[in-house]
Chain A
């Protein structure tokens, strides 16, 4: 099978990989991000981005919300014009888009629990239009609809009311279960690896934050998701140890060996370290000469780029100190 890949992969992915090889030369480098950070106002930042793919999207933007919508629109186009036509197996495309369906489900259920309108909370990046999530449940994609039913059964009280603070963890669990199944169907070792890494890193985030805040183990357990290389039972066992020891033991586990224990113990630095770890994994797989990996790697790199751009531009709007922004995007860009 591996030998046949030398014939099958170029036939299937050759065109998309060729496009990626040119498109990835247009990804924004660290120098551009340095200039964006130094610009300190949106007009100057927009001028710096004038020769990039984002120029057209940011043209009419003037507020942080506009910027967010404009950059999301660039991702929607990336998904629709590139990802959907890259001849990738369906589950790989789903891997990118289904997570946004769950983001919309989270918004739908939280809005319902809090009694606020869901419009404006929905992202257009999912596999179906955001309007679907504002409508009746029977119009939702089947996987999401089933997840919603399970969440309602588990969380709703006798009157059908949902507890807002438990919705997030419940939707995340459903999302990881769904993404884990999609990653296994994808046939891509990279996507499977990425999926399990995401689950591990999500659990580490929950573990560290909760442990430092002193949240009881019973409240943390439901927030842990399956699908990672580290069992949720391991997190629960380590959670009972003293803070430093528990975090040091987590840092020694294989997926996290590149992160120093003191970084892991600092929630402010943890997010940056986790993003950097994922960015490193993506970079490694992008250099594969042919197959789905360079295409997946490019889409992930663009997604990370959009996140970094949002951080810098919206951070500039909000007058966040440059050094904090620089630290946030340094490793990812």
Chain B
């Protein structure tokens, strides 16, 4: 427990990783939702009947924040942070930190780009109501990589916890 890497204990490295996952996912979602929401409100300002059609697009970049939150929660659960019995060496802590990085980075970037893709998709919905279903597909493709990052992070955390 007393060993340190770069002046930080295992506990601190694990906390750092969990925090970065939550921060990265949260920032990605916040920016992504802001992007699409600005366009969505412009569309609704001109045609309020489009609200139901653009809402799923506006909600879509929100998932990255959830993945970051799940990652942080799993770190706390898997390594006993809730019970106050966390016993993590510096090397384990560093491994937990690296396990959180896929979600921290990919959710940050994919959230922003999913918002940008949703802006284009919202333009499709504004033009033709019937394209609302098709418009969801392209931002959903960006989501794939956020999901992959969550899977990789969970597998890495399971490997360390096991």
Contact = CB atoms under 8 A, between A and B. Distances in A.
A21 B43 contact: yes
Interface in B28-51: 31, 34-47, 50
B116 A21 contact: no
A93 B43 CA distance: 22
A14 B35 contact: yes
Interface in A1-60: 6-7, 10-11, 14-25
Contacts of A290: 35, 39, 116, 119-120
Given A18-B122, A25-B126, A290-B116, A10 B42 contact: no
Interface residues of B, number: 26
Nearest to A87: B38
Interface in B76-120: 112-113, 115-116, 119-120
A25 B47 CA distance: 11
Interface size bucket, A side? Answer: 10 to 19
Contacts of A19: 42-43, 45-46
A11 B34 contact: yes
B34 A17 contact: no
A289 interface: yes
B123 A11 contact: no
Nearest to B54: A18
A306 to B, nearest CB: 19
B134 interface: no
B126 A18 contact: yes
Nearest to A12: B38
Contact of A14 (B42, B126, B127): B42
Contacts of A16: 42
A15 B31 contact: no
14 contacts: A6-B113, A7-B31, A10-B34, A10-B35, A11-B34, A14-B37, A14-B41, A15-B45, A18-B44, A18-B45, A19-B42, A21-B43, A289-B119, A290-B120
Instruction: Please list the 8 inter-chain residue pairs (A to B) with the smallest Cβ-Cβ separation, ordered nearest first.
Output: A18-B42, A14-B38, A10-B35, A21-B126, A22-B46, A289-B120, A18-B39, A15-B42
